[in-house]
Structure 1
Amino acid sequence: MTHESMTTSGSAVDEEELQLLKEAALVYLDQTSQLPLIKQRCEEYIHNKENVSAGVFFFMLTVNPLQIEDPLNDVVLHNPKLAKKIFQQVCLTTIQCLSLLPGDIKSSQVIVNLKITHLPPFQSYHIHPLDLAACRFDSRYYQFNGIVISMTTPTEYSQVAKYRCPVSECVGATDNQYIRLHTAGAKETNTIRRDFHCVYCGSTLIEDVNCRVLGEKVVVEMIESTCFSPENQTCVARYNQSMSVFLRDTLMEDIQIGGSYTVIGMPVKQMTTNAKVSISFEANNIYKTQTPLFSSLAGEIPTSLSDLYRDRVCSPWSFSASLAYLFGADILPPGTFHKLKLIMLLSLVDSMDKTKDTEMADRLHIYVTGKDTLAIGRLLMYGASFVDRSIRHSAGLPLMATVNKDDHGTGACSIDGGSLLLAHEGICLLGDVARFKKDIIERLYHAMETRKLTIEIPKKYSDQSIQHLMMPVKCTVWAYGEKMANKSSVDVFAPLEPSKSSTSLLEECFSLTVSCSSSDRSKDDYAEQCLLHHTLRQAISDEDGDDQFQDAECLLDMQDLKQFLKHVSHIEVKLSVAAKRLIKGYFVASRRVRSSGVHGMPFPQAAVHTLSDLSKAHARLNMRQEVSEQDTVLAIMIYEEIVTERFGFSVLSVQPRPHFRDDNITAYIGPENDAYMQQFHMQLVRFCSSHAPDFDILEAEL
């Protein structure tokens, strides 16, 4: 231990203070049950004779400075080098006293890395990209909260290198005399060189290449979480608010482009060969940023929503229908695009569900078709603003990912995330997909079908060990396009030729393909008139909002609805036995009926998952913890309308209803709608009983 290490107060550490610090470190390791872990690690080295022969032993100790008393916590926070040496000495003493490793173990053979779990919640411990670029930092730990927008492929680096003096009579020729370790921010040339000299005889040292220990590293580009909002374009924020973070070995696990992470690390400043300053941020620990869950629902729901819920609680469908009627009323008139608004609400609740934080989780993707793409696009943009993160894809951003040469001198390539990856756990609004080329649509189809994005690494960037990477796609995708050609015909059993067009691929990869055009032209004309009237009225209204132009339906505040949706999305729901029975019965019966005859009609294989997600989302929207049969009835109604629009006929005689007239609100929200849904429920049960063989058996078991 050298006396050059200084405490944060600036005074040198004497032997007495050093001994007290060691005792405090030993007490902390004992209190956190890490001493047995040191013993376990030594046993692993003994069983692996190859590691013992290398003569270098790694130990990872977890340290929470907030749980350590002064003055040791001050040393850990502000003098990392001294803290590392203190814990190294404690670890070495433990090994020697308990004889955990064979032979005479020297201090240089024991390599201790401290994994810092927490930093004090003060602004002085947070670093910003601009502070890093301006060299406004000390040589200590800082914390950074950000989102990964790009990462390099893994490259090897030397963790440990062992050197010997070539003169056999020299003291430097003894084993484990010269061991070089990688330090934070150091380059490969700092560890592996040919100009090291023996301190005893001055001879040039020779590396024992058989004892070199290799590791892997990646460089991730991160931007601050605060500047990643729906209003910001990531291509703009990247160059102003980004910083490069070096991750090594185990820290690379589970790091995904688009993910939000908290990094604890140390900034390092070095001079390069061309007399320039090189700034790097070496990560000590990285973990996924935890978003605080909302507390109990009671007392947290906005008054406007709770009043509406109490007024509609007698009906299992009226509350959600009323929300859809009020949703986006200042964007599109109430009643127009009603079915789309309801589906968007269900998709929003589903996308906010944190239990879907798995690679293979299904999501309610929406593809909207219709003639008025401008109105549809405005409504989708409005809906996407309700989530914490939404990406509006544009021509300036890649959709998937791009691969470029890494400019950090690592010899690897950099993978820059596109819109699908950057919309991690949020909504990716693709816009009008009619402008996409067919190859892009095919890649989109594959990514959404497998829920993974395949990134090919060009040979000029590849070291032959990595040819492609798989990255999970964890976002809900919304898109729109021109209305599809009507597939219905006079003969409902007329054959439909299978198509491999771009339109059919889009229909297959999206969970819900919603048509905003009605078979009754008068309803579309009425919707267009309402939209025109709504636009003109907003254009001529007073800035202060004259009362004569205010709609009672526009009283639902956007912030209240956003808070409500976040609350209900955290409700844990489960499918009831009755709901499962109805979903299974509808799925089996639909596949049998639609596939019968000479020319069978396909029925989506993913229908069960989509119906389950729709049912759960509707239950959450109505603040129910169990999916009722009525929730499933609505989900099947929505799905049957979508299938009818796609294939041209309904096995349940359902007619799609994208809009409704203001003079007939009760038929869509009130008692008339309840009567219609109850009648559909009975018809659905009869349909399942007739065509699903196990449906009646399941019903009898309830």
Structure 2
Amino acid sequence: MAALGWLSYEFGITHQECASIKAYIPLMQLKLQEDFLKYFDQSGQLQKLQNMGHKYEKLLTKWQKRKEYGKPFRFPVDIDLKSLLELSGPQFLRLLLHEPLRATSVIHRVVHTSLASLLSVPDLQLEQVQVIIRLHSISSIPIYHPHVSGVGGIMLLNGILIAMTTPIKYSEISVNSPWAFVTAICSYLAVDLYPTSAFFPLKYGLILSIANQASNIPIAILAVGEDTSVASHLMNRACYLAHRHQTFSCPAVSGPIGGVARWDEKGYRWFEAGPLILAAPGVCYLGDWSKFKQRNLQSTILSALESGQVSFDTQGSGPVGPTLSAPTFPLRCAVWTYWSWASHSRKQADQAHFHTLVNVFGIPFVVDDKNETENVASQILAQAMDGSDKKEPIITNSELREYLAMIANQPVTISKEASQLIRGYFVASRRVRPNCLPVGAVSTIAALSEAHARLARRDTVLYADVVAVLYLYETAILKLFGQCYVSPPPFNSSYQSELPLPIQMHNRLEEFSSWIDNYVRSLAGSNFSYFNNEE
């Protein structure tokens, strides 16, 4: 009966429909899950899971009342290979010996679904459940040996092997929230210079850009503000976290930003790559945007960002050889820059150029140090008094760089709910604020949402990932263009609170999620009235 209950919960079918389940679910996957569930039940571990689950359920209730985030549920699975063979047959045993990763995935799925069906926790996520597999009676089962070329499997090792990778280390502090873990990761950028809560939107954007460095759609970053020294410090620090980075600090020395195509005196054609090519896949850090104005490089950079193609300079290619057409290569790096600009500037040329930058870069990140002065000063004073500047940070730069490199190649897909929210937000915003949101915002928001999902170690972009990105957008729009009649609730830009930043951001995004849902429903029309099915 336990197996029937599990199948009913897992696949949403009645007990009567179990007889015809082969028509709806791949037989092999179902058979493997059934085999292990039979062993799991008859070995008494299903009852053990239920007992431990009730204790975990009480802890969840206590954590929710205190508005705390709990640890994941850990369950040790003891597998006696001889008993597994007797109770489940040879098929699952063969899978465990020859494809242990696939077998572990099946076990993880069975434990998670069994726990969710036995308890009154219907929204228990797979990531909240961790399994620890302990094998017994290995010596009596034929195994493969490591010296046999091209053969893998399980073998018996005498001793203890312990390893903790950076992803596992930080997964230990991952909490049951779609935003808290990403918030914690981003907040530690340049923590020796600024408090974790200071200039948080820009930190968030920079880390998201790096998390997307292996994608075909790089995320460009533009920071604006009256004082750009903070943006300079943060970008300088963040670019070293990328897989590769190039700094284009002096146009007069570095040459063309795309590269040069030329013929030499012997008639050979040469291509000299510029920073936009050499930085791939990573970051091309431009620094101050204003320095490119005199050499007319701004139009070259904007053209590369708009088209996604980098053009080589053919001027001065020499008289030898035929005339060179400008070759192009795909843009595979994120372009970062900052610009000293004030929203109250009355210069018409500055305003026009600002709107041009917004249309190309997307919504910029506003660096406003006026609200952060007290917060930064408090940290400097504390460091001077107790020497805290010498302390090792919780997350080091090398560990953060390793983590970003690992998740950058994670393939992700966008869920229907996330896609609906992106399109609904674009339609709603273009209706109420047509001059604020650029035309290319849909692809930029999608790329940022994919990066957020990667940072959270998910392979699917959820509704919550898009909410986090839209929060950054609305924060910037509010500072750049001011409030309108549909502006979200007031933002606490300094993030000053007694609660830790991850918890505060979770609470803030929960509130913002409700607002964005009503915002899109009211302005985008009935076509977007059903998208948030993940709640």
User: What TM-score, normalized to structure 2?
Assistant: 0.61
CA deviation string 1:538-559 (max 9, x = no partner): xx88xxxx5x55568x221222
Q: Which runs of 5+ in 1 are unaligned?
A: 1-297, 489-495, 596-600
- Cα offset, 1:512, TM superposition: 4.4
Of 545, 550, 558, the match for 2:397? 558
Aligned to 1:348: 210
Do structure 1's residue 524 and structure 2's residue 386 form an aligned pair? no
Do structure 1's residue 633 and structure 2's residue 467 form an aligned pair? yes
The structure having more radius of gyration, on CA atoms, is: 1
Question: What does residue range 67-146 of structure 1 map to in structure 2 within 5 Å?
Answer: none
- Cα offset, 1:405, TM superposition: 5.6
- Cα offset, 1:587, TM superposition: 0.8
Letter in 1 for 2:293: K
Letter in 1 for 2:230: A
Of 430, 442, 445, the match for 1:608? 442
- Cα offset, 1:378, TM superposition: 2.2
CA distance in 2, matches of 1:574, 1:487: 41
- Cα offset, 1:397, TM superposition: 1.0
- Cα offset, 1:429, TM superposition: 0.6
Do structure 1's residue 397 and structure 2's residue 236 form an aligned pair? no
Number of aligned pairs? 367
CA distance in 2, matches of 1:338, 1:394: 25
Q: For the aligned residues, what is the CA RMSD?
A: 3.2
Aligned to 1:467: 325
Q: Percent identity?
A: 23
Aligned to 1:306: 171
Do structure 1's residue 422 and structure 2's residue 281 form an aligned pair? no
- Cα offset, 1:346, TM superposition: 0.9
Report the structure, 1 or 2, having the larger strand content: 1
**8 A Cα contact 2:304 2:311, kept in partner:** yes
Aligned to 2:452: 618
CA distance in 2, matches of 1:621, 1:695: 31
Of 219, 228, 238, the match for 1:383? 238
Q: Which runs of 5+ in 2 are unaligned?
A: 1-162
Q: Of the two structures, which has the highest relative contact order with CA contacts closer than 8 Å and spacing of 6 or more?
A: 2
Aligned to 1:134: none
- Cα offset, 1:401, TM superposition: 4.2
**8 A Cα contact 2:345 2:351, kept in partner:** no
Question: What does residue range 162-173 of structure 1 map to in structure 2 within 5 Å?
Answer: none
What SS class does the counterpart of residue 195 from structure 2 fall into?
coil
What SS class does the counterpart of residue 428 from structure 1 fall into?
strand
In structure 2, relative to structure 1, the CA distance for the partners of 1:502 and 1:421 (3 Å cut) is farther
Of 285, 298, 301, the match for 1:444? 301
- Cα offset, 1:487, TM superposition: 7.0
- Cα offset, 1:431, TM superposition: 0.9
Letter in 2 for 1:342: Y
CA deviation string 1:13-61 (max 9, x = no partner): xxxxxxxxxxxxxxxxxxxxxxxxxxxxxxxxxxxxxxxxxxxxxxxxx
In structure 2, relative to structure 1, the CA distance for the partners of 1:632 and 1:405 (3 Å cut) is closer
Do structure 1's residue 646 and structure 2's residue 480 form an aligned pair? yes
**8 A Cα contact 2:362 2:438, kept in partner:** no
In structure 2, relative to structure 1, the CA distance for the partners of 1:693 and 1:393 (3 Å cut) is same
**8 A Cα contact 2:260 2:272, kept in partner:** yes
CA distance in 1, matches of 2:263, 2:323: 17
CA deviation string 1:465-513 (max 9, x = no partner): 533222322211111221333379xxxxxxx979775444333322341
Letter in 2 for 1:669: P
CA distance in 1, matches of 2:473, 2:418: 15
In structure 2, relative to structure 1, the CA distance for the partners of 1:487 and 1:524 (3 Å cut) is farther
In structure 2, relative to structure 1, the CA distance for the partners of 1:530 and 1:427 (3 Å cut) is farther
Aligned to 1:245: none
Letter in 2 for 1:380: M
CA distance in 1, matches of 2:203, 2:300: 28
- Cα offset, 1:572, TM superposition: 2.0
- Cα offset, 1:321, TM superposition: 1.3
CA distance in 2, matches of 1:569, 1:471: 22
**8 A Cα contact 1:452 1:473, kept in partner:** yes
**8 A Cα contact 1:388 1:426, kept in partner:** yes
What SS class does the counterpart of residue 449 from structure 2 fall into?
helix
CA deviation string 1:144-187 (max 9, x = no partner): xxxxxxxxxxxxxxxxxxxxxxxxxxxxxxxxxxxxxxxxxxxx
Of 385, 406, 411, the match for 1:572? 411
Do structure 1's residue 317 and structure 2's residue 179 form an aligned pair? yes
CA distance in 1, matches of 2:409, 2:271: 33
- Cα offset, 1:675, TM superposition: 3.0
In structure 2, relative to structure 1, the CA distance for the partners of 1:416 and 1:516 (3 Å cut) is same
Aligned to 1:362: 217
Question: What does residue range 106-255 of structure 1 map to in structure 2 within 5 Å?
Answer: none
Letter in 2 for 1:593: V
**8 A Cα contact 1:515 1:658, kept in partner:** no
Report the structure, 1 or 2, having the larger helix content: 2
Aligned to 2:516: 684
CA deviation string 1:509-549 (max 9, x = no partner): 2234111116xx4x233245246547x73xx88xxxx5x55
Do structure 1's residue 509 and structure 2's residue 357 form an aligned pair? no
